[in-house]
Structure 1
Amino acid sequence: MAESFPMNGGDGSYSYTKNSQYQEGLERGRCGRCEELERGVTGAREWSRWGRERAGGGGGGRRSEGKKTKQATDFAKGTIQEAILEKLDTENLLSVSNTFRIVDFGCSVGPNTFITVQNMIQAVESKCSLQGLDPGAIDFQVFFNDHTANDFNTLFASFPPDRRYYAAAAPGSFHGRIFPRASISLAHSSYALHWLSRVPEGVCDRKSAAWNEGRVHYTGSSEDVVRAYGDQFEKDMGVFLKARADEIVEGGLMVLIMPGIPDGASHSQLLFGVLFNFLGSSLLDLASEGIIDKAKIDEFNLPIYAPSVGEMRKLIEKNGCFSIERIELTNPRSKVDEPIDVHTLIMHLRAGMETVVTKHFGDAVVEKMFHKTLAKSGEISEFLKSSYPKPTQLFLVLKRK
C-alpha cells in the first residue's frame, strides 16, 4: 500500500495554501492564442483575475513575487492550453455525451489546482469554439484527487465562488485505479509524480549495497542508491500508467509536469537535490550538537525521484497505451532576472516536506532543522544561481491510443 505524505493542511503559517507561491509560478501563465479565442467564453477573464488575486494576496502571500511569478508562469499555462488546442479532439469526445470529465491527480489543498483547472476548462471551451461546438452546452465535472490524508476540507472551503464545473473529491493513491474504465477525458498531474509510493528498498539498511549513510536523498550518493530510487520509480510509474490507461477514454489527453533531469546529467545538479542536501546537512548539524542521534538520520530517506527524458520515454513505450505527443525538459524561470527569494522557496519546501520529516523525527526537530536551513540562505542562493539555468522541469503530453 502506498504511503501517504500530504502537504501541510489548513491555512496556518506553514500550510501549503499559504506557501505555494513558488509552485504557482510553475503553474500559471497566459497563452496568446487562447486569449484571442476566449473572447466568446463567458467569464474567462474574471476567472483569471480571481485566480491571480487568490494566489497573490492575503495570509502569507508575497506580492513582491508578482513580477517573477508572472514571468515564470507564462510557459506552463501556455503549453497546457496549446496541447489541448492542438491535440484534443473535443468533437469526437463530446459526440456521445456533453459531460466532460477532468481530474487533477495530486491536487493538494490549492490554490494552484484551481488555477490549473480553470486553464484547462478555458482551453477546452476555446477548442470547442474552433470546432463549431457550443462551449456553454458542456457540463464539466472535475475530480480532485489526492491521498485520503489530504486536507479536502480546506480545499473545498476555498473553491472559486463562481466556478463553472461540478466538483468532487476522489481520495486515494494514484498508484492504482481511482475511476471507472474509460471515464476521464482529460487528466493532469503537476509536481506530484516525483513522490514515490515508498522509500526505496535497501537505502536505510546497513547491510544493503544501497545503504544511503548520512544522506536523506540520492543526490550525491552512490550508483547503487540512485539505482534503488530509479527502480522504485519505474515500478510506481508502471502502475500509474496502467491505471490511467484503464481510466482515460480513447483520444483523451494526460498532461504531466514533474521535476526531471537531462539524459546523462548528474542528479546533483537538480534544484530540489541541492535543497535536500542542505536539509540533510542541517540534520547532521543537529546530530553533531547531540540533539538527535545520527543513526536516526541513516534510517531516513525522502521518497522523491526525478526521472530523465529517456527513462520516461522508455516507461511510456513499455506501457504501450499512450502516444507521446510532447516530451521535453524546460526551465520555466529562465526569463526571470531577479534572484529567487530563498526564504519563500524554503517555506514552500517546508509546506510540502514537513509531514514526512515530522513522522520520523518529531515536531521539535523539524522546527530546528528548518531554522538552520534558513540560516544557510546565502549559501543556498549561490548554489541556486548555478543550478537554475539548467532545464529541470519535465513536461509531457500523452494521448490515449
Structure 2
Amino acid sequence: MADTSAASYPTVGGDGPYSYAHNSSFQRTGVESAQALINEGISENLDVKQLIFSSPSSPNSFSIADLGCSVGPNTFIAVQNIIESVKFKCLADDLCSEAVEFQSAVPGSFHGRLFPKASLHFAHSSYSLQWLSRVPKELLDKKSPAWNKGRIYYIGAPSEVFEAYSAQFAKDMESFLNSRAQELVNGGLMALIIPCRPVGIPPSQCPIIVIIDLLGATLMDMVNMGLVSKDKVDSFNFPRYNPTPQELRSLIDRNGCFSIEKMEPLVRKSGLENESKNQNHILHLRAAWEGQIKGHFGSEIIDELFDRYKKKLLESPIFSQSNKNQVQEMFVLLKRRMA
C-alpha cells in the first residue's frame, strides 16, 4: 500500500508565470478583508499591559506566528497588520509601543508543535487548515470499503470515503489546537480564515469541492488516452477537506482550550464572474496545487494536465453567478483560556 504520511508540497515558488507570488490575489484579498476584524479583535480582546509589559519571562516582547503553506508576500501583509494593530492598542492604552520587540517565524508543519510553551501572543492562519496532514490510509487500502479507486476525492464515492476525510480533518484540527494551546500564552489570540462548505449545499454543487472532482475527471481522461497510469490515479487522493461552519465550531468547542470570540463569514466580492477572472483563478489553482500533483505524478504531465483541466473548468458552470454564495470563508478569532 502506498505511503500516506505527511509530505511538504508548498505552493509554486519563484517569480514565474505560475508562481504563487503572481497568482494569489484571491488569498491576499481575503487576508485584507480580515484586517478590520483582526484590528477589532486585538482592540477588544488583547490585554497588552498584562501580556507584554507585565510578563516576567519576556518583558516588552510580542511573538507572532503565521501558520501557512504559501510562499510570497501574503504572510508579510498579515503579520504587518497584526504588528500595526498591537502598536495602536498600546497607544490607546497609554503604553509605549516603541518599547515592544516583535518576533516570529520558524520552519515546520503547523499540524504539530513548533514553538516553546507559552511563547506566542498571536497566531494567524489563513487558507491553510483545509490541507490535511496526510491522506487517510483507508483510501489506499484495497481491502477497505473506503478504497477510492478511480477517484481523487469524495464526490460520487462511497460514504466511507467522506467519513475518512472528515475523521482525518478532526484529528488534524485536534492536533493543531492542542499544539497552539501549549504555545500561546494565557489570553493570547489566534485568527483563522478557513474556506467552508455551507450546510445544506450538496458536495456536487459546492465549487471548492467540484474543482477537485474536475481535476480527477481530467486525470481519468488522460488515463483513457494512455497518458497517465491508472494505478497512479488509484493511489492519489487530494489531501484537502472543507468543513461546514458548524463542524468547525464543534471541533473547537470539543477541544476546550479556546473561547470563540468571533466566528462569522468573511465578507468579500466573489471575483469569479467572467471568463478572464476564471482564467486567473485557474492560474491560482496551478500555483497552489502543482507541488502536490508533481510530487505524485512527476513533472512530465503538468502542462498538458492543466491545459486540459482549464478547458474542463471553463466549460463548467461551477463559477457562475448562481453558485457564488455556495462557499463560505469563515473568519474565526480564538482566545486562549486560562490553563
**Do they fold alike, i.e. is TM over 0.5?**
yes
Residues 107 and 93 (structure 1 numbering): CA distance in 2 closer, same or farther, change over 3 Å? farther
Shift of 1:338: 5.2
Shift of 1:391: 4.1
Shift of 1:282: 1.3
Q: Does the 8 Å contact 1:330/1:391 carry over to 2? A: no
Please, which runs of 5 or more residues in structure 2 have no aligned partner?
A: none
User: Which deviates further from its counterpart, 270-279 or 242-251?
Assistant: 270-279
Residues 332 and 220 (structure 1 numbering): CA distance in 2 closer, same or farther, change over 3 Å? farther
Q: Does the 8 Å contact 2:189/2:333 carry over to 1? A: yes
Distance 1:186 1:297 in 2: 40
Q: Which aligned pairs between 1:54-73 and structure 2 lie closer than 5 A?
A: none
Shift of 1:395: 1.5
Partner of 1:187, secondary structure, is strand
- Which of the numbers 271, 280, 284 marks the counterpart of 2:216? 280
Give the residue type in structure 2 aligned to 1:228: A
Q: Does 1:291 align with 2:227?
A: yes
Give the residue type in structure 1 aligned to 2:76: F
Q: Which aligned pairs between 1:175-324 and structure 2 lie closer than 5 A?
A: 175-324=111-260
Partner of 1:364, secondary structure, is coil
User: Which deviates further from its counterpart, 105-114 or 216-225?
Assistant: 216-225
Give the residue type in structure 2 aligned to 1:323: S
In structure 2, the residue matched to 1:350 is 286
Distance 2:302 2:117 in 1: 42
Deviation digits for residues 113-164 of structure 1, max 9, x if unmatched? 1111111111111211221112222111122xxxxxxxxxxxxxxxxxxxxx
Distance 2:201 2:336 in 1: 30
Shift of 1:7: 1.2
Shift of 1:171: 0.9
In structure 2, the residue matched to 1:148 is none
Distance 1:222 1:387 in 2: 25
Q: Does the 8 Å contact 2:154/2:162 carry over to 1? A: yes
In structure 1, the residue matched to 2:42 is 84
In structure 2, the residue matched to 1:113 is 75
Partner of 2:21, secondary structure, is coil
Q: Does the 8 Å contact 2:273/2:319 carry over to 1? A: no
Residues 370 and 331 (structure 1 numbering): CA distance in 2 closer, same or farther, change over 3 Å? farther
Q: Does the 8 Å contact 2:272/2:319 carry over to 1? A: no
In structure 1, the residue matched to 2:15 is 11
Percent sequence identity over aligned pairs: 46
In structure 1, the residue matched to 2:99 is 137
Deviation digits for residues 74-111 of structure 1, max 9, x if unmatched? x3222222222222221221122111110001152121
In structure 2, the residue matched to 1:25 is 29
Deviation digits for residues 322-379 of structure 1, max 9, x if unmatched? 1111123345225x59537112111111111111111111112122110111223432
Shift of 1:219: 3.5
Give the residue type in structure 1 aligned to 2:251: L
* Count, aligned residues: 327
Q: Does the 8 Å contact 1:261/1:329 carry over to 2? A: no
Distance 1:136 1:229 in 2: 47
Q: Does the 8 Å contact 2:193/2:332 carry over to 1? A: yes
**TM-score (normalised: structure 1):** 0.77
Residues 330 and 223 (structure 1 numbering): CA distance in 2 closer, same or farther, change over 3 Å? farther
Give the residue type in structure 1 aligned to 2:47: D
Distance 2:272 2:16 in 1: 31
Distance 1:259 1:278 in 2: 19
Distance 1:236 1:225 in 2: 17
In structure 2, the residue matched to 1:384 is 319
Give the residue type in structure 2 aligned to 1:103: A
Residues 318 and 20 (structure 1 numbering): CA distance in 2 closer, same or farther, change over 3 Å? same
Deviation digits for residues 9-36 of structure 1, max 9, x if unmatched? 22222221222122112111xxxxxxxx
Residues 295 and 331 (structure 1 numbering): CA distance in 2 closer, same or farther, change over 3 Å? farther
Distance 1:240 1:187 in 2: 11
Q: Does the 8 Å contact 2:64/2:122 carry over to 1? A: yes
User: Which deviates further from its counterpart, 278-287 or 225-234?
Assistant: 278-287
Shift of 1:225: 1.0
Give the residue type in structure 1 aligned to 2:285: L
**TM-score (normalised: structure 2):** 0.91
Give the residue type in structure 2 aligned to 1:77: Q
Distance 2:114 2:272 in 1: 42
Partner of 1:202, secondary structure, is helix
Q: Does 1:339 align with 2:274?
A: yes
Deviation digits for residues 223-263 of structure 1, max 9, x if unmatched? 21111000001111111111100000000000111111223
In structure 2, the residue matched to 1:93 is 51
User: Which deviates further from its counterpart, 325-334 or 200-209?
Assistant: 325-334
Q: Does the 8 Å contact 1:325/1:399 carry over to 2? A: yes
Q: Does the 8 Å contact 1:212/1:221 carry over to 2? A: yes
Partner of 1:118, secondary structure, is helix
Shift of 1:5: 1.9
Give the residue type in structure 2 aligned to 1:358: K
Distance 1:324 1:189 in 2: 15
Give the residue type in structure 2 aligned to 1:378: L
Q: Does the 8 Å contact 2:15/2:21 carry over to 1? A: yes
